[in-house]
Structure 1
Amino acid sequence: MHGQYNTRMDTLARNIAAFIAEDPSGSTEDPFNTLALELFARQYERNEVYRRLCESLDVTPGSIDHWRMIPATPSQAFKLFTLSCAPPEEVVSVFHSSGTTLREAGKHSMDADALALYEASLAHGFARGIPSANGLPIWAMMPAPDAAPHSSLSHMLGALRAERFYWDRDSELSSDLARVERPIVLFGTAFAFVGLFDASTDAWSLPPGSVVIETGGFKGRTREVAREELYGMFRDRLGVPIESCYSEYGMSEMASQFYSRGLDPVKRGPHWVRTAAIDPVTGAEAQAGQPGLLTHFDLANFNSVMAVQTEDMGILGADGFTLRGRASDTELRGCSLTVEELWARQ
Structure 2
Amino acid sequence: MIKPGKQQVFAVDNPDTFNQTALQVFNYQAANCEVYGRFVSGLKINPADITSAEQIPFMPVEFFKSHRVVASGDVDEVVFTSSGTTGVITSRHHVTDVSWYEESFRKAFDLFYGDIKEYTVLALLPSYLEREGSSLIYMARDLISQSANPDSGFYLYNHDELYQKLQQQKATNKPTILIGVTFALLDFVDTYQIDFPELIVMETGGMKGRRKEMIREELHSALCAGFGVNAIHSEYGMTELLSQAYSKGEGIFYCPPWMKIITRDTNDPFTLTDTGKTGGINIIDLANINSCSFIATQDLGKVYADGSFEVIGRFDNSDIRGCNLLIA
Please, what TM-score do these two structures have when normalized by structure 2?
0.84
Q: Structure 1 residues 132 and 107, CA, compared in 2 at 3 Å: closer, same or farther?
A: same
**1:111 correspondence with 2:101:** no
Question: How much has 1:78 moved relative to structure 2?
Answer: 0.6
Q: What SS does the corresponding residue of 1:85 show, helix, strand or coil? A: coil
Q: Structure 1: any 5+ residue segments left out of the alignment?
A: 1-10, 331-346
Please point out which of 301, 308, 313 is paired with 1:325: 313
**1:222 correspondence with 2:207:** no
1:334 matched residue in structure 2: none
Please point out which of 72, 97, 113 is paired with 1:130: 113
Distance 1:132 1:195 in 2: 30
Please point out which of 298, 311, 326 is paired with 1:311: 298
2:183 matched residue in structure 1: 191
**1:96 correspondence with 2:81:** yes
Distance 2:230 2:186 in 1: 17
Identical amino acids, percent of aligned pairs: 31
CA RMSD of aligned residues (A): 2.7
Question: How much has 1:227 moved relative to structure 2?
Answer: 2.8
Distance 1:187 1:146 in 2: 13
- Stretch deviating more after TM superposition (127-136 or 89-98): 127-136
Alignment of 1:255-266 (within 5 A): 255-262=242-249, 264-266=250-252
Please point out which of 18, 31, 45 is paired with 1:59: 45
Q: What SS does the corresponding residue of 2:234 show, helix, strand or coil? A: strand
Distance 1:36 1:212 in 2: 33
Q: What SS does the corresponding residue of 2:144 show, helix, strand or coil? A: coil
Asked whether the equivalents of residues 144 and 165 of structure 1 are also in contact (C-alpha less than 8 Å), the reply is no
Question: How much has 1:193 moved relative to structure 2?
Answer: 0.1
Task: Report the AA paired with residue 238 of structure 1.
Answer: F
1:172 matched residue in structure 2: 161
Distance 1:102 1:117 in 2: 31
2:62 matched residue in structure 1: 76
Q: What SS does the corresponding residue of 2:224 show, helix, strand or coil? A: helix
Distance 1:230 1:133 in 2: 27
Distance 1:101 1:40 in 2: 35
Task: Report the AA paired with residue 91 of structure 2.
Answer: G
Asked whether the equivalents of residues 277 and 294 of structure 1 are also in contact (C-alpha less than 8 Å), the reply is yes
- Stretch deviating more after TM superposition (307-316 or 283-292): 283-292
The number of residue pairs the alignment matches comes to 307
Please point out which of 194, 199, 203 is paired with 1:204: 194
Distance 1:329 1:21 in 2: 39
Q: What SS does the corresponding residue of 1:104 show, helix, strand or coil? A: coil
- Stretch deviating more after TM superposition (280-289 or 252-261): 280-289
Question: How much has 1:161 moved relative to structure 2?
Answer: 2.6
Distance 1:13 1:92 in 2: 20
Asked whether the equivalents of residues 205 and 238 of structure 1 are also in contact (C-alpha less than 8 Å), the reply is yes
Distance 2:31 2:115 in 1: 42
Asked whether the equivalents of residues 275 and 305 of structure 2 are also in contact (C-alpha less than 8 Å), the reply is no
Distance 1:118 1:13 in 2: 15
Please point out which of 228, 231, 236 is paired with 1:249: 236
Q: Structure 1 residues 143 and 222, CA, compared in 2 at 3 Å: closer, same or farther?
A: closer
Q: Structure 1 residues 209 and 91, CA, compared in 2 at 3 Å: closer, same or farther?
A: same
Distance 1:139 1:172 in 2: 11
Please, what TM-score do these two structures have when normalized by structure 1?
0.80
Q: What SS does the corresponding residue of 1:310 show, helix, strand or coil? A: strand
Superimposed CA distance per residue, residues 168-200 of structure 1 (whole angstroms, 9 cap, x where no aligned partner) = 2223212322333323111111111011123x2
Asked whether the equivalents of residues 145 and 158 of structure 1 are also in contact (C-alpha less than 8 Å), the reply is no
Q: What SS does the corresponding residue of 1:217 show, helix, strand or coil? A: coil
Task: Report the AA paired with residue 203 of structure 1.
Answer: Q
**1:285 correspondence with 2:272:** yes
Question: How much has 1:18 moved relative to structure 2?
Answer: 4.3
Question: How much has 1:44 moved relative to structure 2?
Answer: 1.7
